[in-house]
């Protein structure tokens, strides 16, 4: 559902749709990497630019 009050509502709806399509086609039981690859394919089919697994700084327990 697209809500024009939110800046990225249309993109969010597309991403959720991609995730639902992957779940519908694959179901449960695969390793996470399989779902990542399938989600990447779905997003690329919709023209959503993606980057998988990139490094980010994590702040946890002041370390």
Q: What pLDDT shows up at residue 1?
A: 66
Over the stretch 19-39, which tens digit does the pLDDT of each residue have?
A: 999 999 999 999 999 999 999
- Top pLDDT among 23 and 8 is at 23
Over residues 36-53, the pLDDT tens digits come to 999 999 999 999 999 988
- Report the interhelical angle of 32-45 vs 9-26 (nearest 10°): 130
45-63 exposure pattern, b = at least 16 Cβ within 10 A, e = fewer: eeeeeeeeeeeeeeeeeee
Residue spans per domain, the chain: 1-63
Q: Taking 90 as the threshold, does the pLDDT of residue 15 lie above it?
A: yes
- Name the pLDDT band for 63 (thresholds 50, 70, 90): low
């Amino acid at each position: 559902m697209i809500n024009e009050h939110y800046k990225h509502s249309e993109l969010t709806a597309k991403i959720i749709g991609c995730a639902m399509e992957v779940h519908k086609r694959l179901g449960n039981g695969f390793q996470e990497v399989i779902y990542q690859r399938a989600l990447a394919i779905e997003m690329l089919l919709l023209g959503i630019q993606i980057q998988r697994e990139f490094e980010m700084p994590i702040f946890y327990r002041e370390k």
